[in-house]
Structures are given as C-alpha cells and as structure tokens.
C-alpha cells in the first residue's frame, strides 16, 4: 500500500530539523516546523515553510508533548511526522499515537521500537539472529546479592551493570570488583527507575578497549533490507560520540560482509522498517558483539551519506510512503572516506560543560569535500534547555588522510565567537598520532587526555594571540587618548585618560 506524503511535520529543532527540511525541499514536500518560546527565531523555524508555536522552552512542555505535536500535525494537514533524533524519535507510545491518528510516523513500527528499546529483548533478538552478544546475565528481581555475585563471577569482573531500558550512559555502572557490586546494582537501578520508569538492570561483560562500530541499515515494508556499511564511532566522552567516520580504519571487505549481513539479520528478526543502526563493540581480536539497535536516524548519518552518495532522509521518506527500496545490496559501494566532527557549544577544558550565549560571529568553512549541517546562524542564541550541538562538520576525501586534512582545514576556517565550542578540541584530536594511525577505542579520550587538556597551543599561535590582544588594547587606548586630547589641552597619558573615560578613579594627582 503506498501513501502520499506531501507535507511533513518535523518534531524537532536545531541541525537535524534543518537537515530534514532540506530533504523535504529537495523532494518538493512542504515542511512544518514546531518551536518553543525560546526558539521563535531559530534557524529551523526560518527554514520551514510553516511554523507553529508549541509552548514554553522546557522540552517537557513543548517538543515532548504528544498532544501538541499531534495537534499541529492535524491543524497543518501534515501527512507524516519526522521525529529527527532525541525527543520523540524512539518513543513507542508516540509512534503508536501517530498510527492511531492516521499520521505516518517516519520510523519503525511501535512494536519494533518497543522490542529493540528494551536492551534485554534486543539481546534476545540478536541471539535469535545468530549474533554474539557480550557475555552477560539477566538478573531476576528475586535474586539476592549472593545470587547476583555468583552471576557476576560467571560473567567475569569487571562487569557492567546496565539498565534494561537504558540509553546514553544512564543507569550504567562499571564494577571492577565483587565488593562494589551491591552499590552499583542499587544506584543503577534507582537511576534507571527515575530516568526510564523501569528499574530492571542486567549484567554484561565489560570490554577493556573495544571499538564502537555500527552498521546503517535500510528496510522497506516489503521485506527488503540492505546495509550501507559501517561507521566507526570510538571517539566518545561520557558514552557520547564526538567524532565518527566511515569506513572504519580496521574494516576489511570480509569483515564488512560478515558484520553487515549480521546487522541485516537482526533487522529482519525484529521486523524492522525504515532507517536504523545496529551497534557493535569490536574487541581487539576483531570479535564483534551486538550492542544495541538505534531505531532512528542518527546524528552521524552524514558520514554514510558521503561515502554512499545516498540521502538517508529521502530514503526514510521513500520507505514511509510504502515504496520498495531502489537499491539492492550489490548496488551499494563505499567510495572514499568521511569524517564527522560534532561541534558542540561546550567547553572541552571544563569536562565538556555546556556553554550558552549568543553567537557573535559565525562563519562556516566551505570548499572541496566539506559539508556543514548547522542548526544555527550568526546571532543565534544557544539556549540552556536543549542538546548543545550547534553543527556537524563532515569532510570527505579519497582516503582517510585526505578526509582528516580537509577536516583540519575546515576547522581552521571556522569563525565562531561568543561561545566556547569543541572546534579546538577536534583540531587537537585530529592531530593526535594515534588517531591519525587509526588506533582507536572507546577509551581513546580518557587515555590520551586524562585531564581534559585539549588546548595544545603552539608557541606561534600563543605569540600571535598575545599580539592581537595587545594591539586591540593599544588601538582602543590611542583612540580614547586622541578623543580626550580633542577636548582638552592637558597632556595626559593614554593609559590614564582611558581610565578617566571608563569612569574609574585615576591616580594622576588631582584627587
């Protein structure tokens, strides 16, 4: 059954909303934006064909309110809702609501979201599909600490206590030794209960230095499913990815074939429809373990787009219309290499603390091999309420070396003032010898930069920055002194007059 999609409501904000709108425009589809009070003049609102105010800044009162989104969909006459990532993207209840209201949810069915959103059920699904999962053990609610300890011993310390309903590192604890297990079970359970309304936890073997490698899949409603190769996302902080690339530096055609077909088997086993990601942890001996499935378009999807030449949002819409995939596995080839750097309004030196404010200057890089998916423009405010991602820089090269050097060039070309960003951090990491060698693991950042000191300024840059500061002050003082002399015959030093001007007390006698 094929359904028409002429108008799409984008239930999101920032760069991903803009990204989805671009695909809509390419396809001649009308886009509908929703915005909270503090997003009135946000870039995604300016990009949209239609825009609706949906309430106060907190997302629980705007972007996350099912009724408000559905109401706008109806009022605007939208045929479909694209949830982007985050917010309602992996919310089975919302997806069900769309089905009930006769609106197309661009994503998998509520059943699939529910199945794969439960990490224990997702593991079962992967096992059924013949994949390896990291050794682990389910915990029975009736288990006492001795039973839990026995299971943990069987898995082998260090173990990971994980929330069944978890995500984003919440409800997760690394337990190095048996005496720390009880506390970890309790705290992780509590955290999971409050974050996900589900306090179930389970045990998983903790891999010491794994790589995070994931496969992009596309499945239509007719049982066709393909994978679009892998993305390596090992550069993470607080279990959040910051640099992603495709292909993985360790990938071989054989391993890709093996992991890709495994990913497709999991997708088929779960009745997957749409674009999704099967995540794996890859051990140092290249054994790959199923980690989880993300039932949404991911932040890092552009690296796959750059090496496959596909537009994943267009593919999502195509699938949502009920059409058959236009590609079969043999049509898909990865060309060159792509790297994505997530530009966050954060201070890497301060443990990636969010930095809010107004962009006083904002000029983007361009040129060969450079793509920027930005959610902001000059003078945009970065509110405190949402994810602090402001843009993604994606570069493509014939090979990894070219992709990295283009990323370095583009990062240097950025002109951003008014906020702290992760641009300098990326320049440092992309210059790291181990990174350049492709020697990655999810421990990369904590091993290489244990103190979060990412600002490695060279002497030349320090000196030039010092000159810039001195010159700025000198020019200002000269101007003030000259203005002052205009009004007075008194000969006065520029430094003293500068302080007079700024209403500070001076110390030149006449007190």
Partner 1 sequence: MARYLVNIDGKEFDIELEYRSEKYFAVINGKKVEIASYRLGESRSLLLINDQAHEVDVRSNGYDNRKVVFMKGMEIPAHIEDYNLAQLRKTAGMSFETGVARQLKAAMPGLVIEVKIKPGDKVTKGQPLFVLEAMKMDNIIKAQWEATVKAVHVSGGQSVEKGDKLLEFE
Residue 499 binds partner 1 (CB under 8 A): yes
Rounded CA-CA distance 146/162 in Å is 18
List of E strands, 206-348 = 211-219, 225-237, 240-246, 274-282, 288-294, 337-344, 346-347
* Closer residue to partner 1 (CB): 227 or 342: 342
- Member of 3, 74, 360, 434 binding partner 1 (CB under 8 A): 360
The 8-class DSSP code of residue 325 comes to: P
Residue 468 binds partner 1 (CB under 8 A): yes
Residue 326 binds partner 1 (CB under 8 A): no
Rounded CA-CA distance 424/107 in Å is 35
Shortest CB 352 distance to partner 1, Å: 14
Residue 412 binds partner 1 (CB under 8 A): yes
Residue 416 binds partner 1 (CB under 8 A): yes
* Closer residue to partner 1 (CB): 99 or 457: 457
* Closer residue to partner 1 (CB): 293 or 416: 416
Residue 455 binds partner 1 (CB under 8 A): yes
Residue 479 binds partner 1 (CB under 8 A): no
* Closer residue to partner 1 (CB): 146 or 502: 502
Q: How far is CA 266 from CA 129, 217, 315, 468, in A?
A: 6, 10, 20, 56
* Closer residue to partner 1 (CB): 264 or 480: 480
Shortest CB 299 distance to partner 1, Å: 21
Stretch that binds partner 1, among 16-24, 77-85, 283-291, 472-480 (CB under 8 A): 472-480
Residue 25 binds partner 1 (CB under 8 A): no
Select from 426, 444, 445, 401 the least CA-distant residue to 249.
Answer: 401
The 8-class DSSP code of residue 420 comes to: -
Q: Which residues pair with 33 in a beta bridge?
A: 10, 51
Residue 86 binds partner 1 (CB under 8 A): no
First-residue to last-residue Cα distance in the chain: 88
- What is the gyration radius of the CA atoms in the chain, in angstroms? 26
Rounded CA-CA distance 202/163 in Å is 6
Residue 473 binds partner 1 (CB under 8 A): yes
DSSP per position, 35-79: E-GGGTT-HHHHHSSEEEE--SSSGGGTTT-HHHHHHHHHHHT-S
Shortest CB 196 distance to partner 1, Å: 36
Shortest CB 475 distance to partner 1, Å: 7
Residue 474 binds partner 1 (CB under 8 A): yes
Name the residues annotated as catalytic. Answer: 296
Residue 350 binds partner 1 (CB under 8 A): no
- Member of 420, 429, 430, 435 binding partner 1 (CB under 8 A): 420
Tokens of 419: 């906020």
Shortest CB 85 distance to partner 1, Å: 26
Number of residues that bind partner 1 (CB under 8 A): 46
Its sign, for the CA torsion 193, 199, 203, 204, is negative
Tokens of 108: 């998998």
Contact 501, 484 (CB under 8 A): yes
* Closer residue to partner 1 (CB): 6 or 462: 462
Task: State the residues that interact with partner 1 by CB under 8 A.
Answer: 360-361, 411-418, 420-421, 423-424, 427, 455, 457, 459, 461-475, 477-478, 494-495, 498-499, 502, 504-505, 507-509, 511
């Amino acid at each position: 059954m094929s359904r028409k999609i002429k108008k799409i409501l984008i239930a999101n904000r920032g760069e991903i909303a803009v990204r989805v709108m671009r695909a809509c425009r390419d396809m001649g589809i009308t886009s509908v934006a929703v915005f909270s009070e503090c997003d009135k003049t946000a870039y995604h609102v300016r990009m949209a064909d239609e825009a609706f105010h949906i309430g106060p800044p907190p997302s629980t009162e705007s972007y996350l309110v099912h009724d408000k989104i559905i109401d706008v969909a109806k009022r605007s006459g939208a045929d479909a809702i694209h949830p982007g990532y985050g917010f309602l993207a992996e919310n089975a209840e919302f997806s069900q609501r769309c089905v009930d209201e006769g609106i197309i949810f661009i994503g998998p069915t509520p059943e699939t979201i529910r199945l794969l959103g439960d990490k224990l059920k997702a593991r079962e699904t992967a096992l059924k599909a013949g994949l390896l999962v990291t050794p682990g053990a389910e915990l029975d609610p009736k288990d006492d600490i001795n039973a839990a300890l026995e299971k943990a011993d069987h898995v082998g310390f260090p173990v990971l206590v994980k929330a069944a309903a978890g995500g984003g590192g919440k409800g997760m604890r690394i337990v190095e030794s048996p005496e720390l297990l009880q506390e970890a079970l309790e705290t992780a359970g509590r955290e999971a209960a409050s974050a996900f309304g589900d306090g179930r936890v389970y045990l998983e073997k903790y891999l010491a230095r794994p790589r995070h490698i994931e496969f992009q899949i596309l499945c239509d409603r007719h049982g066709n499913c393909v994978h679009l190769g892998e993305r390596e996302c090992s550069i993470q902080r607080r279990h959040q990815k910051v640099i992603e690339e495709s292909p993985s530096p360790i990938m071989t055609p054989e391993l890709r074939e093996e992991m890709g077909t495994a990913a497709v088997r999991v997708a088929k086993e779960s009745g997957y429809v749409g674009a999704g990601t099967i995540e794996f942890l890859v051990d140092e001996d290249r054994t790959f373990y199923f980690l989880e499935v993300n039932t949404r378009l991911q932040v890092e999807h552009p690296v796959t787009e750059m090496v496959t030449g596909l537009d994943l949002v267009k593919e999502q819409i195509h699938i949502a219309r009920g059409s058959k995939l236009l590609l079969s596995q043999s049509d898909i080839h990865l060309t060159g290499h792509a790297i994505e750097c997530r530009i966050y309004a954060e201070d890497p030196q301060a443990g990636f603390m969010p930095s809010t404010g107004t962009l006083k200057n904002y000029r983007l890089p361009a040129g060969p091999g450079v793509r920027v998916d930005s959610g902001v423009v000059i003078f945009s405010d970065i509110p405190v309420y949402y994810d602090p991602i402001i843009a993604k820089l994606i570069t493509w090269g014939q090979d990894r070396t070219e992709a990295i050097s283009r990323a370095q060039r583009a990062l240097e070309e950025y002109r951003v003032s008014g906020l702290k960003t992760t641009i300098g951090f990326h320049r440092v990491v992309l210059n790291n010898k181990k990174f350049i060698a492709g020697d990655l693991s999810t421990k990369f950042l904590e091993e290489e930069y244990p103190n979060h000191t990412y600002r490695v300024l060279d002497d030349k840059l320090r000196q030039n920055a010092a000159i810039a500061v001195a010159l700025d002050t000198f020019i200002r003082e000269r101007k003030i002194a000259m203005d002052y002399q205009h009004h007075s015959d008194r000969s006065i030093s520029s430094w003293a007059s500068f302080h007079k001007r700024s209403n500070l007390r001076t110390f030149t006698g006449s007190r």
